[in-house]
Every structure is written in C-alpha cells, then in structure tokens.
Amino acid sequence: MSTGRVNPNMRLEDQGITGLGQVHYNLMEPDLVELALSRGEGRLGKGGTLLVTTGKHTGRSPKDKFVVRTPGVAESIWWENNPPMDPDAFARLKSAMLEHMKGRDYVVQDLFGGADPAHRLDVRVITELAWHGLFIRHLLRRPERAALDEFAPDFTIINCPSFKADPEAHGCRSETIIALNFEEKTILIGGTEYAGENKKSVFTLLNYILPEKGIMPMHCSANHAPGNPVDTAVFFGLSGTGKTTLSADPARVLIGDDEHGWSERGTFNFEGGCYAKTISLSAEAEPEIYATTQKFATVIENMVYDAETRALDFEDDSLTPNMRCAYPLHYISNASPLALGGHPKNIIMLTCDAFGVLPPIARLTPAQAMYHFLSGFTSKVAGTERGVTEPQPTFSTCFGAPFMPRRPEVYGQLLKEKIAKHGATCWLVNTGWTGGAYGTGSRMPIKATRALLTAALDGSLAQAPFRKDRNFGFEVPTTVGGVPDILLDPRRTWDDSAAYDAQAEKLVQMFSDNFSQYEAHIDDDVRAVTIG
C-alpha cells in the first residue's frame, strides 16, 4: 500500500524493494510532521517545529563509512581515507537490510542535489523515520510537484536506523554502517538515527562525480553582494568554524551554508536548506537563524526544552554540544531563490585554532591557498563526531576529509586552476582562540571577525598596511577600522610571549609533519611556501 505522488514506473518495487508495509511517497511538510508525531518520533515545538532526539549517535560516525571496491572505482578512490568494502560483503549487507525492512513502513523523498540543472544529481532517499524524510526534504532541493511524475533517481539512499550490521558477515567495523556502492548507485545507512549522515552521503557522491566534469566540489558556505552575483564569496571550513554564521550576513545574499560546486558558470549550492548548530544561539547575535527555531516544520535536533512550554534551552548541552536545527533555505530572508552565484571573488578558509596562535585574518597567495587547503588545519568542535568532547586540533584536508572520496590533490589542483583563471583573493580566517590556547584564552570575538570579513569583501582591507608573519609567511593586516590592533597580532594577546613562541613553534612543526604526505604530489610553487 502506498500514498503520495510518484513516477508510476519508478516505485520501490521497480527497484527490487518489495514486501514493505505502507510506503509514503514525496509527502510535503505538513504530512511529514503529522506522520512523525503520530509515530511518536518527536514532539511538536513552538511555531510548529518538530523536536527530536537521535539516541546514542549525536554526530557522524566517520569510522563506520565504507566504499565498495568495484573495478570502476578501484583506481580513483583515496583508499587510505575511505575504507574498502568487498562487493560480496555489500551484497550480503543489502540482502540483510532489505529482508529486515519487510513489513515495515517507509518514507520516500525524490530530490535534487545541486541548484544548477546542468550538474544536479537526482537522488531518492528512503527513510524508516518520517522525520528523516522531513530533514532531507529541507536539506536537498525539492522538485516541482509535476516533475515527480517522471522522476528517475541517479542514486538511491536507504536509511534504516533499526537495522544493525554484522561486522563479521558484512565486512564492517560495528553495527553502524554507511556503505557507498558507486557501481550499483546505492548507499546503505544503518544503526544510526543521526540525520546528518543522509546529507553528507549526497555530498560524498558529488565530491566523487563532479571533478570528472571539471567542477570543484566545496565544503563551504557562500554569499554574494545584493544585486551583484559576480561579487561572490565562499567560506571553506569544518563544522563549528562559522560557515553558517558568517555566510548569513544580512548585508549580503545567502547562496547556501555548507556544500557548493564551482563550475564553468560560477557557484551553485548543492542543497535547499541549512543545518545549523544551535548551541549558544541568540536572537541578538544571529537573528535570522534564531528565528528559524520557531518556524513551522523546522527540525530541532537534540535540544533540551521545557516539557510544558517547549521553550528551547540553547545553553544546555547535556544531550550533545552538537545540537542543531534543519530548515529550508527560504526561511532566511536574504537567501537567494536560485542558489546560484558567480565565480568567487573572495575565498575565505575558516580555521578554528585551539592553540591560539593564528591571527584573526591573513591574506594568502594562490600557492599559500593551495597549501592551506590541502593542510585543512582546524579543530574538531565538540559533538560533531562521536567521542569528540572538546576542541581537538586536527588536519582535515580540503576542510572536509571525511567526505573526500578522491585524493586531496585532485581537489587542490582544481581549486588552484580556478583561482588562477578567475583571479580570486584568498584569506585565512581564524575563528578559534586568542589570548592563549583553549582553556586559557577566549574565542575570537564574532564582532571582530565580522568587521574583518566586511573589510575583506568590500575591498577596503586590501588597502590596509600588512606585515609578513614570521612563523607562517602569510600577510597579516596591522590596523583595521573597528578592530583592536592588539587582536591582529596574536603574540601580543598572550600574557607570556615566550609561551606563545613555544606554542607557535609546536604548530609550525605540526604543519610540516602533516604536509610531508603531499610533497610528492605538488608543484614547485606550492613547495616553496611550505611551513617549517
């Protein structure tokens, strides 16, 4: 039995998925909220939001993600970063999951990955949980209703949290599994209720497919000047570095907050929504994002709330510091309806430096930009992955290693070529600590970061005086209106200059040790700017 609207020639039975209970095809937001509530999957919040929790998995499980090693991808996957799964093991996994699904009700959403029709990926997402269907409907791009009548997926994702994988039978690590099979064009997710696995699976697909077309997939947010898409800026960064917060600038038009492509025509969002962290969110600092937490059908994930009033507690991280809300892009008043921009004029690489060494902003040459892109230095912020409870300094190449199926140099070379062709200016922005390391210093003031970014994007920062940093070789402004000069020189913010020097020396050595893995794959101009 089924409900909803679907291509009559592309039901689940036509894909070999049979014996299910009721199947709900392409329900819209009101029906998905009602279905989730009727199943007891969550509670109704203020403004008609949906309040849900995800059990023991409150972040991604990167160690449980596998790529099936088939002949077509054997030579192109970065296997050191993407553990392989044997095709026979995947066949057993898929058979067991489909058997487990029999008799159970499922929700199906047919959606697009990519705002540019020339490069989009048509994705079918099959979810056991109705709220997962609502989540992915927000996060991907929604076809016009009439288009559903002829929708045929390029890839299919099956997400079944109640299914537990068998490591011995299925060639995996635990009962949690995310398995990508590029040959069968299928992704299987089991043993986790964390909704972020759905969207990041689509990002991983596009990260593999698009480079063959000469398109740069980017783990970044993006915006452009009002009425001027040519003045586009992109913000690379891992979760917690400020991608969502800094791109949602009311003075600019939001293209998207997390995943984009850079094609021969410019920038395009992969998604149709946002997945914003809500810890310490306030109406004063981030009014647009805060407002979404009381809008109809926004998914409020892993937040503590008052049982009677349903008022959200933005400071209580007892469930997880990785509390989030998921909402459609149009809930942000200055969001672009097309989710398209021009070729980036400014490229900002966001890092969260838990050592308190890096300046709040630095200007990079194209070679330095590739160096820092490949390095991907930042800190994992508490809660974004299982087991991360405080900021952990790390190197995540391309500012998104968990989602990169190809070797990092593939993406680095694409970025380098596009910067050279289109003349983008590159900046490294530290949203982490100042005045000392994590535990001693304080987070970089958001007001100062915004002022520096405004100056970078409007061109005035280029006219400021700069100094060459003695540790990292990049250029750092010495004075910027609205920003205390002392903040621009991190060594001066420390009470003990010798302690800063020791910490900087430690970080330089970490950069050097990490980058040695790329030495054989880079050009001389990048090799010339390596640190240490």
The DSSP-derived string for 404-453 is --S-HHHHHHHHHHHHHHHT-EEEEEE-SEESSSTTTSEEPPHHHHHHHH
3-state secondary structure 146-164: HHHHHCCCCEEEEEECCCC
208, 67 in Cβ contact below 8 A?
no
Burial (CB count <10 Å: 0-12, 13-18, 19+), residue 474 = buried
Give me the phi and psi of 501, to 5 degrees please: -60, -40
Catalytic one of 200, 260, 343, 406: 200
Tokens 């800190």 belong to residue:
379
How many CB atoms neighbour CB 78 within 10 A? 17
Catalytic one of 258, 336, 372, 450: 258
Q: Is there a catalytic annotation at residue 324?
A: yes
Catalytic one of 94, 137, 219, 277: 219
Catalytic one of 54, 221, 241, 244: 244
Amino acid found at 70: T
CB neighbour list of residue 203: distance below 8 Å, 6 or more residues apart: 217, 219, 258, 259, 270, 403
Q: Is there a catalytic annotation at residue 416?
A: no
How many CB atoms neighbour CB 493 within 10 A? 20
Burial (CB count <10 Å: 0-12, 13-18, 19+), residue 242 = buried
Q: Is there a catalytic annotation at residue 521?
A: no
Catalytic one of 57, 124, 141, 243: 243
CB neighbour list of residue 154: distance below 8 Å, 6 or more residues apart: 121, 122, 123, 185
Question: Buried (b) or exposed (e) across 184-218, using 16+ Cβ within 10 A?
Answer: bebbbbbbbbbbbbbbbbbbbbbbbbbbeeebbbb
C-alpha–C-alpha distance, residues 439 and 3, integer Å: 54
3-state secondary structure of 242: coil
Q: Is there a catalytic annotation at residue 527?
A: no
Catalytic one of 119, 324, 386, 418: 324
Q: Is there a catalytic annotation at residue 170?
A: no
Within 102-242, residue ranges assigned H as helices are 130-139, 167-170, 196-209
Q: Is there a catalytic annotation at residue 501?
A: no
Within 108-155, residue ranges assigned H as helices are 130-139
Catalytic one of 57, 60, 124, 386: 60
3-state secondary structure 445-460: CHHHHHHHHHHHHHCH
Q: Is there a catalytic annotation at residue 88?
A: no
C-alpha–C-alpha distance, residues 363 and 426, integer Å: 6
C-alpha–C-alpha distance, residues 328 and 303, integer Å: 19
Catalytic residues: 60, 200, 219, 239, 243-244, 258, 324
